[in-house]
């Protein structure tokens, strides 16, 4: 749902409902397809770092036999946006928190402010930028789902309207309460996020 709508559409069309992702850790098989798809879609180096870096925008962390994705949570009220003195970060009405490197002055306030420790700096470059997941904003603008959701063979990462993803997560929690930690992460954390997570482990 929502994948065929275009962010910023005008001309009498109804306003777009915010989009997002639902990651269900109980369905994840740890194949890393999401990581590879992210790399390809964003022209990032193929080498996968074990933690988030300026060149690896999503990673899988293993918790026992379970997996959890790490990526930008695309907060509803992003602190990176609020602390940036030059407006390099903005929250797109469609959901993504996007970055304009041409405005960035390298103060790195965003890195310090992020509650999820997501934005990373290109320390190895003479003209460094801050880098992170952009929720495939160009793909969303073209009416496509995020690359990670499209690539997931197990359906562990779902893309759609945030409101419908919340309903789906709540349906799963109610249908199989023993399968999950009884909590939808991202529903209300830091004011809510566009990336939501279900898990079978804390």
pLDDT tens-place values along the chain, 202 residues long: 344 334 444 445 566 799 999 999 999 999 999 999 999 999 999 999 999 999 999 999 999 999 999 999 999 999 999 999 999 999 999 999 999 999 999 999 999 999 999 999 999 999 999 999 999 999 999 999 999 999 999 999 999 999 999 999 999 999 999 999 999 999 999 999 999 999 999 8
Bridge partner list, 91: 97
Question: Which pTM value belongs to this model?
Answer: 0.90
Note the pLDDT of residue 16. 73
* Residues 6+ away with beta carbon under 8 Å from 109: 83, 84, 85
Note the pLDDT of residue 138. 96
Kindly state the DSSP code that residue 186 receives in the 8-state scheme. T
The β-bridge relationship of strands 59-63 and 130-131 is unpaired
| Cα 39-22-177 angle, rounded to 5 deg | 140
Q: What distance in Å separates the CA atoms of residue 145 and residue 149, rounded to the nearest whole number?
A: 7
């Amino acid at each position: 749902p929502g994948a065929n709508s275009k962010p910023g559409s005008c001309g009498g069309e109804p306003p777009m409902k915010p989009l997002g992702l639902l990651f269900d850790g109980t369905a994840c098989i740890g194949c890393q397809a999401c990581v590879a798809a992210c790399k390809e879609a964003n022209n990032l180096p193929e080498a996968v770092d074990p933690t988030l870096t300026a060149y690896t925008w999503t990673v899988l962390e293993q918790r026992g036999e379970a997996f959890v994705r790490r990526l930008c949570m695309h907060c509803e009220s992003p602190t990176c946006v609020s602390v940036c003195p030059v407006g390099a970060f903005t929250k797109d009405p469609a959901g993504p928190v996007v970055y304009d490197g041409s405005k960035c002055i390298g103060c790195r306030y965003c890195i310090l402010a992020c509650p999820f420790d997501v934005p990373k700096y290109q320390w190895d470059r003479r003209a460094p930028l801050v880098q992170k997941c952009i929720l495939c904003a160009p793909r969303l603008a073209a009416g496509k789902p995020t690359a990670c959701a499209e690539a997931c063979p197990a359906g562990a990462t779902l893309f759609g309207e945030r409101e419908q993803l919340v309903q789906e997560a709540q349906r799963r929690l109610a249908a199989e309460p023993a399968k999950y930690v009884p909590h939808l992460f991202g529903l209300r954390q830091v004011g809510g996020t566009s990336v939501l997570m279900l898990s079978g482990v804390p």
